Amino acid sequence: MHVDTRELHKQVESAIEQAERNTSAEIRVHLDEKCSEDPLDRASFIFEKLGMQETAERNGVLIYVAFQDRKLAVIGDVGIHTHLPPHTWDHIKNGMTEQFGKGNYATGLCNAVAEIGEHLKHFFPLQHDDRNELPNSVSTFNYTSQ
């Protein structure tokens, strides 16, 4: 699999910025090459490492992808789970999987970010005094869970 990571990051970061123009929620994307554990466990670990549980409304969402091992997860903080139906993340993951299968990695991630933003703007609309609590940059740090 070949991915132009610089262009991918640029497109995804732009999608995050666009999605967050309509919501006070925070969206992050973390990319790993490999994932030797359950992707939901890994995503939970990364969620904590990125400090996503520290948003004022507990409304952060993380998209986690390990490209080489073809694993992904979408998780949201506790403030989000009171609003969204449980199947929401599965639907978003299915859309990403479909696009990834066609080699459309940026499209898959950007569509997922946009869809998450659409869901969240209804429950966490952008406030006049909103501040961006988390960076919009794609995270690729090699966090180890040991």
CATH number of the domain encompassing residue 30: 3.10.310.50
pLDDT at site 145:
57
Provide the pLDDT confidence category of residue 142 given band limits of 50, 70 and 90: confident
- Decide if 111 is inside a domain: yes
The predicted model scores a pTM of 0.93
Q: Residue 27: pLDDT above 90?
A: yes
- Domain total of the chain: 1
Helix (H), strand (E) at residue 66 = strand 60-66
Residue 140 resides in a domain: no
Long-range contacts (CB closer than 8 Å, 24 or more residues apart) made by 16-20: 16/113, 16/136, 17/136, 18/114, 18/117, 19/113, 19/114, 19/116, 19/117, 19/118, 19/120, 20/117, 20/126, 20/132, 20/136
Q: Check whether 146 has a pLDDT greater than 50.
A: no
Residue 134 lies in a domain: no
Within-domain flag for 136: no
Band of pLDDT at residue 143, cut at 50, 70 and 90: low
Which range marks the domain in which residue 56 is found?
A: 5-123
63, β-bridge pairs: 29, 74
118: in domain: yes
| Cβ–Cβ under 8 Å, residues 106 and 65 | no
143 belongs to a structural domain: no
In a domain, 133, yes or no: no
Instruction: Name which of 111, 62, 113, 59 is nearest 81 in CA terms.
Output: 59
Residue 68 lies in a domain: yes
